[in-house]
């Protein structure tokens, strides 16, 4: 549910309003000079979104690596 408020009300309750947005995810709209501004919490991604790229990482089926002919790579 979208909550509307004035800038004065936002200023008087700023931290409480911001905490509520973070807890509930519900945006708040502020009316100012005939226009509306919206404070919205960013969408939470999953843990996989935090992964960083690893150049040189081998993608594929691990069984294919096990069953490859590596004899030309091995030198005693």
pLDDT in tens, 15-65: 999 999 999 989 999 999 999 999 999 887 788 888 888 888 878 887 887
pLDDT in tens, 23-34: 998 999 999 999
Please report the sign of the dihedral spanned by the C-alpha atoms of residue 55, residue 59, residue 62, residue 63.
negative
CA distance 4 to 29: 5
Is residue 38 within 8 A of residue 27, CB to CB? The reply is: yes
Is residue 30 within 8 A of residue 5, CB to CB? The reply is: yes
pTM of the model: 0.55
Annotated domain spans of the chain: 1-42
CATH ID of 1-42, from 2.60.40.1170, 3.40.190.10, 3.40.1620.10, 3.40.50.11740: 3.40.1620.10
């Amino acid at each position: 549910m979208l909550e509307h408020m004035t800038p004065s009300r936002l200023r008087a309750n700023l931290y409480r309003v911001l905490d509520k947005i973070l807890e509930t995810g519900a945006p708040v709209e502020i009316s100012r000079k005939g226009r509306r501004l919206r404070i919205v919490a960013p969408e939470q991604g999953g843990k996989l979104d935090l992964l960083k790229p690893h150049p040189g990482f081998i993608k594929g089926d691990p069984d294919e690596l096990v069953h490859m002919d590596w004899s030309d790579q091995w030198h005693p």
